[in-house]
Amino acid sequence: MKKLVLDFPIQLHEALIIGKNHRFIASVKEFNNVVVTGLGGSGIGGSIVQNYVFDKLKIPFIVNKGYDLPSFVNRKSLVIVCSYSGNTEETLMAMKQAIKKRATIICITSGGTVAEIANQKRLDCILVPAGMPPRACLGYSLVQILFTLANFGLIGNHFEKEIKAAIKQMKAGENDTQKKALAISKKIIGKLPIIYSSDHFEGVAIRFRQQLNENSKLLAWHGAIPEMNHNELVGWRDDANDKAVIILRNKDDFDRVQSRMEINKKVFKKHTSTIIEIYSEGNSYWEKAFYLIHLTDWVSVMLADLRELDATEVNVIDFLKKSLSKV
């Protein structure tokens, strides 16, 4: 897993090449909505892109993480099917519904049944390299979502320049990133991580939580500001020294959100001594997002090392899938 985290900038570079070289079959037309359907490591890219397009798309952008598609999906919907393995049962069911509803479908996968159905139905299928854990292939899937949106004129292609800058930034700062990640992981070990971010970076916070779950084998939770100020903040009442607060921040977060973060810290300090602030680096959305993703991915694998665990192992998920296959 360490090698996969280290190679994240290389993966993004390869993803840009894959996206540039794909020739779409589907014709460009006007859509009423966009639905990305996928789960886990295959679906998180949709959540992060959703934050990016929030102020760019003129139509709704939904991330679906279940068996059923929203009832509004129809011929004027763009459905992006994300399943790294190509065999995710929830995503396959949603894909079949999209076919019945005659939506425009774009598949992003490494193969499996998704690729087989796409071939049979003559659907667009963007193939990415196979043989890795889905959570380690975020760059491949996320970038293809962006190219898909750009192909249909829903966003511009400025993201390419931003991602190239992010790759350069990550490579130049690799040693410093690993040092920061090790220091953070040492502060977190033995504690329950609680991750907070602004609402516009919630996808990155979710990614960090999921990486702690799968790589570090830890329970964790996340909250977005300002929403958590209207409910979760009240829960900060008892002693919480067994918990570590990690706040993902950007210097250009909305000023009222930054004020809330500062006030929140005063509340947290009454209950826990472990409060870690991680500021992004870079200028664009993708420079900041990928900096935080790369750093927190390192935190998750270094925590696994400190806990003397194999970051790659996900036996309980394998057990779940085998049990489901018998139902």
Could you identify the residue written with the tokens 């209207």? 230
What would the pLDDT profile of 226-250 be if each residue is shown by its tens digit?
999 999 999 999 999 999 999 999 9
Q: Is 288 a catalytic residue?
A: no
- Note the pLDDT of residue 59: 97
Q: Is 13 a catalytic residue?
A: no
Distance (Å, whole) CA 126 – CA 108:
5
| Residue 108 falls inside a structural domain | yes
| Residue 120 falls inside a structural domain | yes
Q: Could you tell me if 22 and 150 lie in one domain?
A: yes
Distance (Å, whole) CA 311 – CA 218:
11
CATH of the domain at 79: 3.40.50.10490
Q: Could you tell me if 227 and 278 lie in one domain?
A: yes
Q: Could you tell me if 35 and 145 lie in one domain?
A: yes
Q: Could you tell me if 130 and 74 lie in one domain?
A: yes
Distance (Å, whole) CA 316 – CA 313:
9
> Comparing C-alpha atoms, which of 221, 223, 179, 209 is closest to residue 293?
209
> Is the four-CA dihedral 82, 49, 64, 325 of positive or negative sign?
positive
Q: Is 214 a catalytic residue?
A: yes
Report how many domains make up the chain.
2
Q: Could you tell me if 216 and 151 lie in one domain?
A: no
Residue that finishes a domain, picked among 124, 156, 188: 156
- Note the pLDDT of residue 274: 97
Q: Could you tell me if 134 and 280 lie in one domain?
A: no
Residues 6 or more apart in contact with residue 91 via CB below 8 angstroms = 37, 38, 39, 42, 81, 82, 83, 114
Q: Could you tell me if 278 and 179 lie in one domain?
A: yes
Backbone angles phi, psi at 89, to 5 degrees: -65, -40
Peptide bond into 226 cis (omega under 30): yes
Q: pTM for the complete prediction?
A: 0.95
Note down the domain range covering 181. 174-306
Quote the distance between the C-alpha of residue 224 and its chain's center.
15
- Note the pLDDT of residue 93: 97
List of the chain residues with pLDDT < 50: none
Residue that finishes a domain, picked among 114, 129, 156: 156
| Residue 281 falls inside a structural domain | yes
Distance (Å, whole) CA 163 – CA 76:
30
- Among residues 29, 161, 168, 321, the one annotated as catalytic is 321
- Among residues 58, 230, 266, 322, the one annotated as catalytic is 230
- Among residues 214, 222, 287, 294, the one annotated as catalytic is 214
- Note the pLDDT of residue 325: 87
3-state helix, strand, coil in the chain (%, to 5): 55, 15, 30
- Note the pLDDT of residue 199: 97
| Residue 204 falls inside a structural domain | yes
| Residue 28 falls inside a structural domain | yes
Q: Could you tell me if 143 and 219 lie in one domain?
A: no
DSSP state letters, 170-220:
HHHTHHHHHHHHHHHHHHHTTSEEEEEEEGGGHHHHHHHHHHHHHTS----
| Residue 161 falls inside a structural domain | no
